[in-house]
Amino acid sequence: AQSVTQLDSQVPVFEEAPVELRCNYSSSVSVYLFWYVQYPNQGLQLLLKYLSGSTLVKGINGFEAEFNKSQTSFHLRKPSVHISDTAEYFCAVYSSASKIIFGSGTRLSIRP
């Protein structure tokens, strides 16, 4: 069965600094990967997805992620964060029979 591991439960960064949120997945022949964002007291919103093709995927709000097959990683990055990026971020992988498996989440806190 597929699984994802988010290596950091919390990541504090200063405003306008770059950030990387780490995600590793269990290896499989075909991999479909997602990043979701959850703002306080809201549901999850899709940031970006990797299905195939280019290993660098661009998403909304200036985020991007890189698929690395050899390291089984799908890290999320943003070159310069804003206060409004404060949220919890979930990495996810398609498993089987329409099910998507979510990581435990990384809470991103932005310091002014």
Partner 1 sequence: DVKVTQSSRYLVKRTGEKVFLECVQDMDHENMFWYRQDPGLGLRLIYFSYDVKMKEKGDIPEGYSVSREKKERFSLILESASTNQTSMYLCASSPTDSYNYGYTFGSGTRLTVV
Q: 25, 36, 67, 74: which one contacts partner 1 (CB under 8 A)? A: 36
Distance from C-alpha of 94 to C-alpha of 32, rounded to nearest angstrom: 5
Name the amino acid, one letter, at 92: A
Q: Is 45 in the site for partner 1 (CB under 8 A)?
A: yes
CB 110 within 8 A of CB 14: yes
Q: Please, what is the end-to-end C-alpha distance for the chain in angstroms?
A: 41
Which residue's CB is nearer to partner 1, number 10 or number 80? 10
Q: Which is nearer to partner 1, 35 or 75 (CB)?
A: 35
* CA 108, 32, 27, 98 torsion-angle sign: positive
Among 58, 69, 82, 99, binds partner 1 (CB under 8 A): 99
Q: List Cα–Cα distances, 14 to 17, 19, 41, 80, 111, in angstroms.
A: 6, 9, 23, 9, 5
By CB under 8 A, the count of residues binding partner 1 is 22
Among 49, 59, 61, 64, binds partner 1 (CB under 8 A): 49
Task: Give the residue, chosen from 12, 20, 51, 56, that forms a contact with partner 1 under the rule CB under 8 A.
Answer: 51
Residue ranges in contact with partner 1 by CB under 8 A? 32, 34, 36, 41-46, 49, 51, 90, 92, 94, 97-100, 102-105
